[in-house]
Amino acid sequence: MTPSIRRIALEMLSFSKVSNKVNFKPGTAVLQEARAVLQGVRAILKNISDKFIFFENVRNSQKAINLFDKISSVGLMPDYVTFIGVLTACSHAGLVDLGFYYFMLMTNEYQINPSKEHYGCIIDLLCRAGQLSEAEHMIRSMPFHSDDIVWSTLLRACRVHGDVDRGRWTAEQLLQLDPYSAGTHITLANMYAAKGRWKEAAHIRKLMKSKGLIKEPGWSWINVNDQLNAFVAGDQAHPQNEHITTILELLSANIGDARQEIGSLQDVED
């Protein structure tokens, strides 16, 4: 294969510009050979993309990054799928600077316009690294409609990193898209509970109940003196409800007294 044909094939690897790269007359031997080479290289790139998927499935980010570097070193042109692979690898490995390097390389050197998926990789990268302000800025500034995927990514990161206020605002964006998202309500309620903000957590639970998002509670059974008793949380229909409530109040009071005694002992030891 002559160097000129190899060069033609490599130039044609930019799939969106294939029709503009070669202007030979149809049927010429040179064009046929170039097309044959191109098909072979396309098969190689397909195999490379499959390897990226495999490496990401096993979370072997470093191998995916090394594979990308090998692609560049032999003169092959990675496509948008390849960049999704390497950006995802950087995200899982926590390599923020390297991820942004590849993102800029894609746009500046390879002239590939970032898709929503590429922005999603960068947002996930920032969220995993705890850079929530930067992630929010990326969501606001990207040239695509902000969907539930990117907002959910940010909300999960807010929960992991304990950013309740940003999480509340993010949940509001999600609820504008889907007011009946049980997952959004639950995540927000759990965030409030984790910070001891019980009133806000209870408010979210009431809101879920009013929207019909809380499932019917499961029944529990207990055998007392060979008699089977069934109940659910919040149920007051049991014939001995008053007696049960009294016992629970006594137990609660005893637990409170025990906690005070433990606290007093700790103060003495200190």
Domains, the chain: 115-214 (1.25.40.10)
Q: What's the pLDDT at 8?
A: 40
Q: What's the pLDDT at 174?
A: 96
Q: What's the pLDDT at 115?
A: 94
Low-confidence spans in the chain with pLDDT less than 50: 1-25, 51, 53-58, 265, 268
Alpha helices (runs of H) in the chain, residue ranges in sequence order: 3-11, 18-21, 29-57, 61-73, 80-93, 96-108, 116-128, 132-141, 148-161, 164-177, 182-194, 198-210, 241-269
Is the full-model pTM beyond 0.75? no
Q: What's the pLDDT at 199?
A: 92
Q: What's the pLDDT at 20?
A: 43
Q: What's the pLDDT at 233?
A: 66
- Write the pLDDT tens digit of every residue in 2-45: 444 344 444 444 433 444 444 444 555 555 655 655 565 555 55
